[in-house]
Amino acid sequence: MTGGSRGIGRAIVIDLAAAGADVAFTYHRNTEKAQEVVDRVNGIGRRSLAFQADVADFTKAQQVVEQVIAAWGRLDILVNNAGIHQNEVIWAMDEAQWDRVLDVDLKGAFNYIGAVAPIFRRQRAGKIINIASIHGLRGRQAGSNYSAAKAGVIGLTKSVARDLGPCGVNVNAVAPGIIETDMIRALSRELKDRFVAEIVLGRMGRPEDVAYLVTFLCSDQARHITGEVIKIDGGQYI
């Protein structure tokens, strides 16, 4: 999976391991945090590999997937979680802010799907889960780059589900609302309060809430679900 050292990604890695999976993941900079996740997975009794990688790097995505196959001989699940945001109103957003968010949040998903697709086609099995956002469904103020990227992830999910469905591969997206992560903690108190006020359940979600859904979609219990975008937002989108 991509982006597995913190927040939602960390929770997904740990929950998949608890469900019996060996989990390889990428991280961007924090080697110490990545090693903590590896140690946690090993403590559960599963294997783990961590790769420092910029998910926007197409060639590196191919290399990471090749290294996982070389180490373990098989790959069954891809979770595209890596994402960033650079908040700015549209009239003040510069090209670099636009490009970087699209490169990580959308192109990163494309890079890793492209790397695993031939493998999943050959073995005629596989699960791909893309972490989108409710803001890819409705738009976000001062976040046109983020909303555009996550809307792209949703379109990518549906198209890839059509491409790989005949090969027995399930492709779905999960669209979280506001979840307690470092990304959310960096927002202003005013913006966080406004988001929470929208949530029917009256609270932010936890990373584990997203992880439980991802693990379900990776299981055989979800074998007849593909091309779906499942919101996990406490009713924020209603």
State the SS3 of the chain. Answer: CECCCCHHHHHHHHHHHHCCCCEEEEECCCHHHHHHHHHHHHHHCCCEEEEECCCCCHHHHHHHHHHHHHHHCCCCEEEECCCCCCCECCCCCCHHHHHHHHHHHHHHHHHHHHHHHHHHHHHCCEEEEEECCCHHHHCCCCEHHHHHHHHHHHHHHHHHHHHHHHHCEEEEEEEECCECCHHHHCCCHHHHHHHHHHCCCCCCECHHHHHHHHHHHCCHHHCCCCCCEEEECCCCCC
Q: Name the catalytic one among 112, 146, 212, 237.
A: 146
Closest CA to 110 of 84, 128, 95, 134: 128
Is residue 146 among the annotated active site residues? Answer: yes
Q: Which amino acid is present at 83?
A: G
What amino acid positions are annotated as catalytic residues? 146
